[in-house]
Amino acid sequence: MSKKYRVAVVGATGAVGHEMRAILAERRFPVSEILPLASERSAGIDLEFGDECVTCKELTRDSFAGVDLALFSAGAAISREYAPIARDAGCVVIDNSSAWRMDPAVPLVVPEVNPDDAEWHKGIIANPNCSTIQMVVALKPLHDEARIVRVVVSTYQAVSGTGAKAITELIRQSDEILEGTAPLIQVYPYQIAFNCLPQIDAFLPDGGTKEEQKMVDETKKIMGDDSIAVSATCVRVPVYNGHSESVNVQFERDLSPERARELLAAAPGVELRDDPANLLYPMPITATGTDPVYVGRIRRDSTIPHGLNLWVVADNVRKGAALNAVQIAELLAERDLIRVPR
């Protein structure tokens, strides 16, 4: 990648924006100039980019003049307003919000799973939901081998998925409870410390939540197979960082645990951690700060034909958001796709 690009990071002062800047620098993405953008109140703040110090600027309608690539991590409302403006200015947008994921004209990309979908972008590419990304990275090699019929997934999602305020609340509530005082509840509808909340995002009329529906819809779009049945239950747990998932998969034909391990050990973006005899399995504390999707506890489900159980863990802020976006950017650069089709 000899060509270099002017890159904007929208929402640069948030947790995901911070991680995007760090990963762009770590992976030596060919940046000629980095442009951190955020709200008016963050304008003027000095931010790190590798060894450099760069000044955050206010996001405006004129921010994208001369910018080649923009990574958005500022929420759906901002993305709906500013992503088309950036695209129309000739900038390719990789958006981390839910705004464009299910738009049929917008590719929803996980580079290890469906890289070719990036080829048909029209200026905006969507980054999937964090819980979906790690699951499909683990499922892709298995689907290619034996074709998935049905997935039942239960998630154990860390508070970092809600943001910095939720991490602070978990720490504070834990201290309050251990000190014998009533915990102050601000971020979630109930205390999160020493508790599990079977609700992520708003409830839908059918009793599911928006987070669960995202896993259903996004999985089918990314895998390119609407026939896959997906049932999801998403739960917030008192863990700082790292999402875990219990994934039950039914295949069209038999797939042994041994063969599944072989496939996963060779799969891009996956690290197999599956040695129960030595108590080796994926955990959030070991996934945090790392790139892979970890898979373990692979075993047959004898209650259904051709069934397997998996335990899947990843850093939700890193692989589940920032890293996947940067990997999309790398994919675009490698294929000379950092240009808006006219």
Tell me the domain boundaries of the chain: 5-127+321-334, 132-316
List 56, 91, 130, 234, catalytic entry? 130
List 18, 121, 243, 306, catalytic entry? 243
Read off the pTM: 0.96
Provide the 10 A C-beta neighbour count for residue 226.
Answer: 9
Residue linked to tokens 């683990």: 138
Residue 234: active-site member: no
Residue 130: active-site member: yes
Are 70 and 86 in contact by the 8 Å Cβ rule? The answer is yes
Rg (CA), the chain: 20
Please report, to the nearest 10 degrees, the dihedral formed by the alpha carbons of residues 77, 315, 131, 17 taken in order: 10
Q: What fold, for 132-316? A: Dihydrodipicolinate Reductase; domain 2 (3.30.360)
Are 233 and 213 in contact by the 8 Å Cβ rule? The answer is no
* pLDDT score of 342: 75
Query: What is the DSSP secondary structure assignment for residue 277, as one 8-state letter?
Result: G
Give 271's strand partners: 294
Q: Which of 322, 267, 295 is nearest to 134 (CA)?
A: 295
Does residue 297 come out as left (phi exceeding 0), alpha (psi in the -120 to 50 range) or beta?
left
Q: What is the pLDDT along the chain (342 residues), one digit of tens a residue?
A: 579 999 999 999 999 999 999 999 999 999 999 999 999 999 999 999 999 999 999 999 999 999 999 999 999 999 999 999 999 999 999 999 999 999 999 999 999 999 999 999 999 999 999 999 999 999 999 999 999 999 999 999 999 999 999 999 999 999 999 999 999 999 999 999 999 999 999 999 999 999 999 999 999 999 999 999 999 999 999 999 999 999 999 999 999 999 999 999 999 999 999 999 999 999 999 999 999 999 999 999 999 999 999 999 999 999 999 999 999 999 999 999 999 987
CA distance 324 to 36: 19
- 274-299 burial by CB neighbour count: b if 16+ within 10 A, else e? beeeeeebbbbebbbeebbbbbbbbe
Tokens representing residue 154 in the block:
């239960």
Q: Which of 67, 58, 65, 62 is nearest to 34 (CA)?
A: 67
Looking only at the bridges linking them, the beta strands covering 148-157 and 229-236 are parallel
User: What separation in angstroms does the CA of 208 have from each of 157, 201, 203, 291?
Assistant: 16, 10, 6, 30
Q: What fold, for 5-127+321-334? A: Rossmann fold (3.40.50)
